[in-house]
Amino acid sequence: MTAVSPAADICAAVGALAAARSVTVLCHIQPDADTIGSGLALALVLHRRGVPVCVSFAEPAELPEAMRSLPGIEFLVPAADVPREVDLLVTVDCGSAGRLGALADRLPGAGTVLVLDHHVSNTRFGTLNVIDVGADSTTSLVAGILREWGEPIDRDVAHCLYAGLVTDTGCFRWGGPASHRLADELLSTGIDGRGITRALMDTHPFAWLAMLSRVLGSARLAPQAAHGSGLVYTFVHRADRADLGSEEVESVIDIIRTTGEAAVAAVFKEARAVAGLWSVSLRSRDSAVGADDGVDVARVAAGLGGGGHRFAAGYTTRGTEDELIAALLAGLERD
């Protein structure tokens, strides 16, 4: 986790942004507040400079409810409306072109592709790649670019950046000193940090409780998995998620991963529209804070066709429950 992006990369990114005559910003599929916050912050700044800009993501069709109060939402366009050709295409928080979903087909029509990301598994699919694996969020990286660019972080931009920061640090549970300094800078613009956190992380519909009771009640513990470190896992079936948004489904891993008897946690989430298609969230943690012995789930996920960070990663797969769990157990044994 060293390889902090050289300052030269940041300068090149600033050069590309400052020179662009038109910009498309693409966020990853199943967007979270880090990718959307990064995209909207860039859009707000580019618009302020008079540059035509749009922001989009391939799926789902609608932005999750929790993110609809973010400033700059007016720059979001449906995937079908994203221009085929653009001067500069920026991807935010996407570890690979696959994370763009159907919008990956816009890459060839761009004069320059600028990849801004903090995933260790990033495939560097851009013309310019600014990958800072030391950044706790992509919005932190965007903040660094704005600083270098000399573009002020006003209240609306700060709101977007804070949204990604608070989400990707788990409400600052695993935020480093730089994240706390950035939070100080952003909150000093007068944004309502408490309100932003409440909207993004602390609000769920009543139906969430029933889903949780089914999904948590059927969780399994495999103490021998991952060379004896232990695995806890559960499945969220299509029927479980019927009336719920993706943010409710994504919240399950944050409860599962607190299990003390397991160093690795997994949540298998069946696609809403396709039976037997699963996206899998993986989390790991050290045996004690600072022990630095946690399983590298980015490597495990990469072996199964996905990617991510050392302690948080994911992949997409197909199969029966038995097949899914067998493949994951084998992947954990290999690591």
Per CB under 5 A, residues contacting Mn ion are 34, 93, 138, 168
> Is residue 47 helix, strand or coil?
helix
Q: Crossing angle for the helix pair 177-187 and 155-168, nearest 10 degrees?
A: 150
Residue nearest to Mn ion (CB): 34
Closest CA to 95 of 67, 121, 64, 127: 121
To the nearest whole angstrom, how small is the minimum distance from the Cβ of residue 204 to Mn ion? 21
Nearer to Mn ion, 39 or 245 (CB): 39
Q: How far is the CB of 165 from Mn ion (least distance, A)?
A: 10
Q: Which residues contact 228 (CB under 8 A, 6 or more apart)?
A: none
Return the number of the residue (27 or 157) whose C-beta is nearest Mn ion. 27
Tokens describing residue 223: 């103490």
Tokens at 78, concatenated: 């449906």
* Closest distance to Mn ion from the beta carbon of 313 (Å): 12
Strands (E), the chain: 23-27, 53-56, 86-92, 110-117, 128-131, 220-222, 231-236, 264-270, 277-284, 307-308, 312-318
Q: Give min distance, CB of 175 to Mn ion, in A.
A: 12
Work out how close the CB of 93 gets to Mn ion at its nearest, in angstroms, rounded to a whole number.
4
Please choose, from the candidates 94, 20, 85, the residue with its C-alpha nearest in 3D space to the C-alpha of residue 57.
94
Helix, strand or coil, per DSSP, at residue 80: helix
- Give the nearer residue to Mn ion in terms of CB position, either 138 or 234: 138
CB of 138 to Mn ion, least distance (A): 5
How far apart, in whole angstroms, are the C-alpha atoms of residue 30 and residue 227? 32
* Closer CB to Mn ion, 99 or 285, in the complex: 99
Q: Which is nearer to Mn ion, 136 or 156 (CB)?
A: 136
Q: Which is nearer to Mn ion, 142 or 232 (CB)?
A: 142
